Amino acid sequence: MNNRFKIGLRPRPKIGLSGVVPETNVPKPLVSAASRPSVMQAPVLVLNATFEPINVTAVRRALVLMLKGVAQAEETNHHEVHSSSKAIKVPSVIRLLTYRHIPQQSRALSRKNILLRDRNTCQFCASAFPASELTLDHVMPRSRGGRSSWENLVACCYACNNRKGDRTPEEAGLKLQRRPRPFTLHTSRQLMRLIGHRDEKWRKYLFY
């Protein structure tokens, strides 16, 4: 037997009462449809304790808030997340159990919020992309004093980013789809209503 392992041969299969034990008999972990990245990153409407819409988050974050007892599901979809002991329906709308004061100010400047403001759409070619296929572009290049600000950063696909290079849009023959602006609460509400047109479960919380 030792020589069999030394020369690299595979050991003989185990023989049971019914013969060779097939590999298909080995139990596999249960994987639900909701564990796919596309579902776990789907948008979920977040309501304040007063049922006022205040934010949009991903399914993964919404489930964390529910498991912590911070929020509860008001609307669900047909997907489920399975654990070892129970199944949880994937939420479409959640509500915070404690009222949160939302300051009337702009959101933090970040890649995530820039992409959210620009709706994951390249601001030069107007094509929508997954977040992983987008980058941020300085409208006025940093080499010319361009700042990293709401008014100078836009979502951009890699093809347009390479085409623009270290130039202004005009110099590269590109045109901005819209003037970049800060992401305010008003902008957030507009996005909520835009997504609400695609998810009927959101509508009664957004249009009143």
Domain with CATH 1.10.30.50 in the chain: 111-172
Report the C-alpha gap between 104 and 26 in whole angstroms. Answer: 56
Q: Which residues contact 16 (CB under 8 A, 6 or more apart)?
A: none
- Name which of 116, 194, 105 is nearest 154 in CA terms: 116
CATH class for the region spanning 111-172 = mainly alpha
Q: What is the biggest distance separating any 2 CA atoms in the chain, rounded to whole angstroms?
A: 78
Query: Helix or strand or coil: residue 81?
Result: strand
Tell me the Ramachandran region of residue 173: left when phi exceeds 0, alpha when psi lies from -120 to 50, beta otherwise. Answer: left
For each of the chain's 208 residues, which pLDDT tens digit applies?
444 444 444 444 443 433 333 444 433 433 444 445 578 888 899 999 999 888 888 899 999 999 999 999 999 988 888 877 788 899 999 999 999 987 665 577 889 889 888 989 999 999 999 989 999 999 999 999 999 999 999 999 999 999 999 999 999 999 999 999 887 666 666 667 766 666 788 888 886 4
